[in-house]
Structure 1
Amino acid sequence: MDSPRLSRRAVLRGAALGLGAAAFGPLATHTAAAQAAPPGGKTAIVVGSGFGGAVAALRLGMAGIETTVLERGRRWPIDPAGNTFATLDAPDGRASWLHDRPYINPLTQLQPIQRYVGVVDEVRGNGINSVYGAGVGGGSLVFGTYTPQPRRRDFEQVFPRQIDYGELDRVYYPRARASLGTSPLPADLLAHPAYKGARAWLADVADYGGQPSFHDFCVDWDLVRAELAGTRRASVTVGEGPYGINSGAKNSVDHNYLPRAEATGNVTVLPLHEVVEIRETQGRSGFEVTVKRIDEYGTVLEHKRLVADYLFMAAGSFYTSALLVTAKAKGALPRLNEHVGKGFGNNGDFLISRTLTHREYGAKQAGPGVAALYDDDTPDGTVAMSWQAAPFPEIAGGNTSTNLIQLITAERGSIDYNPALGRAELNYPHGEADSDVDARGRRFAGRFHDRADVAHGYPANGIPVYPRLAGFGSAATFHGLGGMVMGRACSYEGRVAGYDNMYVVDGSLIPGSTALVNPSLTITAVAERCMDHFLAANG
């Protein structure tokens, strides 16, 4: 696929985003999944196509329920030539959702790009920025492929007792792993010269006095081997990932759950359909969903209104919460309770870069990672730390390591409707000076430096860098969670309080943390559990 070309016409078309529904005439009304539902048949709408939405689509389709999946982004089929996605060092319009600058890489974030329906969307909040995927596959397109299962001891600190870890461990985590196709970094790849960064991280863990906790990644390792053999474009093996993997090695849900859902014949995925309003239907049990259909430059082509019996929210922690907070504020969903929008957490994420390390990590680091370090003996409580492969310029990258520290914290924010702005916004009232995450993250970064570097005679090496102004620390997160938290805004099975036929199946259901691990596997497993309960009650 050629990258989108910058043109004055495209910019002018993008300006149409601000036009209201009246500019396009009356709304077209459709029954979800079909122009006319089968007599007596039930219909469902799934808003979003990431981990939770893909699970919902598959299970609804298998149950024979006519289902429409609404996704604001486009499809991203893997191009055999290896040019599906932008790259971190050469971003273009494919990198960012309708923005004129790329996110993620601080070295390129001032570079102008064309406004296009790219894969990464950054919600700029008050106190924190939260990053989401856009496209068929949602967050699975842009996540780092980390799929660890949390330890029981950590899980039970965060999740309510009504969520049985034993059941997840027996049933839902294995189902999620099998469906996503997860596995640990193979021994032959760890031994490969390209993976010196992974081996350097394991040596740092040993110097710290810890034991590595090896875990799964959502990666097709045969395609990674093909990258190393030169028959696929180098992607995983040079630290790419946040904008997508051009070799196709990332097992995003558009490679597994969603094709299976569509193969049932009961599921229709509608790309470039952005939900703008949700309301109760009048005179019947169900929902009306207003959607704007856009082109790849954000131009609004038409507005449509879809109607369905069941609604499954899976647009990500911010967007699911924002749509429902807005609907409550405007009276479109008046039965939502007072917990809607509350309990947003950043999963305890604290990002650091370690510079001038005494070990050679390499510049274009093969990844995506290898193992986590758990420290259960810090004065601040248990902390986890992982290494993330990244591409660096040769002049600076050989001795640079990117690490994510994760901790369990009660620090939370909210998604609130702002009537002055006419939209919802993310509020996180924890600045760098008073943030529990930042304070504890800094202390652990210093502890790691002291034990892994200074204690071994390298006092000037491994210096941790974590300023918020540069995007480190807790300034931003890929792992925003909460807003429609189980046991508060929703039941423990995802049913939205006040509405028997509305469910939440994405990260907004999670109570702000997935207990020292990346959320993808847990979101998938919890969504599977929610769908089992839904189908048991509505079969």
Structure 2
Amino acid sequence: MTSTGFSRRGVLKGAALGLGAAALGSFAAAPTASAQGRTALVIGSGFGGAVAALRLGQAGYQTTVLERGRRWDIDPGGNTFATFDAPDGRAAWFSTKPPINPLTQFQPIPKYAGVVEEIKGNGITTVHGAGVGGGSLVFGAYSVQPRRRDFEYAFPTSIDYSEMERVYFPRAKKELGTSPLPTDLLARPEYQGARSWLADLADYGTEPVYNDFCVDWDLVRAEFAGTKRKSIAIAEGPYGINSGAKNSVDHNYLPRAEATGNVTVVPLHEAVRIRERGDRKGFEVTAREIDVDGNELATHTFTADVLFLAAGSYHTTELLVTARATGTLPRLSPEVGQGFGNNGDFLTTRVLNRHDYGPVQAGPGIALMYDDEDPAGSVSMSWQAAPLPALASGSTTTHLIQAFTNERGSIDWNPATGRVELNYPHPEGGELDQQGMRFAGKFHDRASVRHGFPANGTPVYSRAIGFGSASTYHGLGGVVMGKAATDDGRVHGYDNLYVVDGALIPGAVGLVNPSLTITAVAERCMDRFLARN
């Protein structure tokens, strides 16, 4: 038993019970042919996979969703997820090191089917979610629609921003339940950090652009009232929200998909191989059934007429690159594996801020700013509340700068190891680093010196401690639209194989976090698929 009250026996029992019910249901009914013979498989249950599952279920497809991670149903006692200050096995996907937190990086944890996986590539580290809900379990809850100018810079001209703005962004926002930080919460003492960020923007001389967030603010109010465990109120988030206030897709899209009666989600089943079905058109997917400690219990073969990949940018691409290299999907384009980008992410912290951000930074954030003056291109900057130690939280802030960059990597088959690897030509001091450092310095100078302040937050962005562009939550690409696939997700070479997650995005969405755009693009893909089938 750890200080968070994490009982491995209790979690194992719950996970086993959940797996038993889901697995029995899936093997009994999935995928059996409907009267029309329409069956589907979805690999992954994050933003893209959840959209595919719901729309397929509504259309009558008998659909199985394979998810490598476990279910994370909210415990009424508030002990579903690990906490940032006291991580345990629930924090990491089969790692003995707590991910993404330099303050606890030397604290050992047991290997477990936790929620965050770090992929150590050659040149960059990418962070991915694991569990029913995928990346939506661990993302920062930012749900930001990109500006037209930025979207059109990032995407091919075949993706009409006017249509996205009219149809798909509003649909995604409605389904996810997005909204801005309410004024009554902003006025609370715990949101001093949000108010200080608005004051910093005023010092810089720019107007804030208020964010939407995937947050149930009534549950945040319950956190302050003491009826729910404090999570968003104390800037938790990277390992999940114990109050249940994050509107991850296991709270909206996926329950609605299962309620159609046509969709079965199968947790703790990791897809490892895809091949064409031999007897008729369609696919066979081999999946490892594992327990929460990573032991392989069995392997199963799932078949379907149509396959949707939504395992996250890295793992979706990994499956296809492996299938091409091993000959099980020989018609895949050479473009599969190319065009992997980090969404222009550059992480920085500011210390010694003029405005006090408070002893506790309630989150997730409030607003971002744009700067269109840099000759190298526009940038954005947002503030994210962080669960910092009390001595540091008032004077230290965490920011994500996002810029346009031509830097792209690839996910490649390595014949020497018989596995794929992420290669990212991303030297320290490269194009993105230069622009990120330049803007961080500009923000400091303009928000302080011109107003006569001695300082307004000195920027720190050392890669050695995980800042700068050394890592990203927002890896995108690998099966890029217009190159490896059509703009509605059909993978070149196969007319019944689709990608509907971040792997389809061309390395960036346009200076904002990608979750809302991935969801909206997946909705667009599914509309077009169902219109043809």
Aligned pairs for 1:143-162 (under 5 A) are 143-162=139-158
Match of 1:409 in 2: 405
Match of 2:442 in 1: 447
Aligned pairs for 1:490-501 (under 5 A) are 490-501=485-496
Aligned pairs for 1:243-254 (under 5 A) are 243-254=239-250
SS at match of 1:207: helix
Match of 2:280 in 1: 284
Letter of the 2:292 partner, please give it.
E
1:32 and 1:43 in contact (8 A); partners too: no
Letter of the 1:505 partner, please give it.
V
1:78 and 1:246 in contact (8 A); partners too: yes
- Alpha-carbon displacement from aligned partner over 1:5-63 (angstroms, at most 9, x marks no partner): 49xxx9xxxxxxxxxxxxxxxxxxx9895264335421110000000000000000000
- Alpha-carbon displacement from aligned partner over 1:399-437 (angstroms, at most 9, x marks no partner): 10100000111110011111111111111011113x211
Distance in 1 (CA, whole Å) between partners of 2:407 and 2:6 is 40
Aligned pairs for 1:21-170 (under 5 A) are 33-34=29-30, 36-38=32-34, 40-170=36-166
- More displaced, 127-136 or 413-422? 413-422
SS at match of 1:184: coil
SS at match of 1:199: helix
| Structure 1 position 467 matched with structure 2 position 450 | no
1:278 and 1:287 in contact (8 A); partners too: yes
- Alpha-carbon displacement from aligned partner over 1:353-397 (angstroms, at most 9, x marks no partner): 000111111232101000000011122221100000001112222
Aligned pairs for 1:141-220 (under 5 A) are 141-220=137-216
Letter of the 1:115 partner, please give it.
K
1:32 and 1:307 in contact (8 A); partners too: no
Match of 2:336 in 1: 340
Could you state the TM-score of these two structures normalised by the residue count of structure 1? 0.94
Letter of the 1:508 partner, please give it.
A
2:31 and 2:64 in contact (8 A); partners too: no
SS at match of 1:183: coil
SS at match of 1:278: strand
Match of 2:480 in 1: 485
Aligned with residue 520 of structure 2, among 525, 532, 536: 525
Could you state the TM-score of these two structures normalised by the residue count of structure 2? 0.95
- Alpha-carbon displacement from aligned partner over 1:265-292 (angstroms, at most 9, x marks no partner): 0000000000011111113211110000
Distance in 1 (CA, whole Å) between partners of 2:261 and 2:529 is 20
Match of 1:515 in 2: 510
Letter of the 2:453 partner, please give it.
Y
Match of 1:377 in 2: 373
Match of 1:3 in 2: 6
Distance in 1 (CA, whole Å) between partners of 2:482 and 2:408 is 16
- Alpha-carbon displacement from aligned partner over 1:179-198 (angstroms, at most 9, x marks no partner): 00000011111111110000
| Structure 1 position 325 matched with structure 2 position 321 | yes
| Structure 1 position 306 matched with structure 2 position 302 | yes
1:32 and 1:308 in contact (8 A); partners too: no
Distance in 1 (CA, whole Å) between partners of 2:234 and 2:407 is 35
Aligned with residue 236 of structure 1, among 232, 250, 255: 232
Distance in 2 (CA, whole Å) between partners of 1:486 and 1:299 is 36
Distance in 1 (CA, whole Å) between partners of 2:74 and 2:449 is 46
SS at match of 1:482: strand
| Structure 1 position 438 matched with structure 2 position 433 | yes
Match of 1:506 in 2: 501
- Alpha-carbon displacement from aligned partner over 1:115-137 (angstroms, at most 9, x marks no partner): 00000001110000000000000
Match of 1:17 in 2: none
Match of 2:15 in 1: none
Distance in 2 (CA, whole Å) between partners of 1:393 and 1:140 is 26
SS at match of 2:53: helix
Letter of the 1:477 partner, please give it.
T
- Alpha-carbon displacement from aligned partner over 1:206-242 (angstroms, at most 9, x marks no partner): 1001110012000000011111111111100101001
| Structure 1 position 270 matched with structure 2 position 266 | yes
Match of 2:17 in 1: none
1:468 and 1:474 in contact (8 A); partners too: yes
SS at match of 2:184: helix
Note the C-alpha offset of 1:110.
1.3
- More displaced, 106-115 or 35-44? 35-44
* Pair 445,230 (structure 1): closer, same or farther in 2 beyond 3 Å: same
Letter of the 2:507 partner, please give it.
G
Distance in 1 (CA, whole Å) between partners of 2:420 and 2:31 is 32
Letter of the 1:159 partner, please give it.
F
Match of 1:15 in 2: none
Distance in 2 (CA, whole Å) between partners of 1:536 and 1:315 is 24
Distance in 2 (CA, whole Å) between partners of 1:363 and 1:127 is 36
2:31 and 2:39 in contact (8 A); partners too: no
Letter of the 1:514 partner, please give it.
V
Distance in 2 (CA, whole Å) between partners of 1:461 and 1:486 is 42
Note the C-alpha offset of 1:4.
4.5
Letter of the 2:440 partner, please give it.
A
Distance in 1 (CA, whole Å) between partners of 2:369 and 2:29 is 46
* Pair 402,432 (structure 1): closer, same or farther in 2 beyond 3 Å: same
* Pair 481,33 (structure 1): closer, same or farther in 2 beyond 3 Å: farther
Letter of the 2:495 partner, please give it.
D
Distance in 1 (CA, whole Å) between partners of 2:335 and 2:102 is 36
Taking only aligned residues, the RMSD between alpha carbons, in angstroms, comes to 1.6
2:407 and 2:425 in contact (8 A); partners too: no
For these two proteins, the number of residue pairs brought into alignment is 517
Letter of the 2:337 partner, please give it.
G
* Pair 35,461 (structure 1): closer, same or farther in 2 beyond 3 Å: closer
1:71 and 1:273 in contact (8 A); partners too: yes
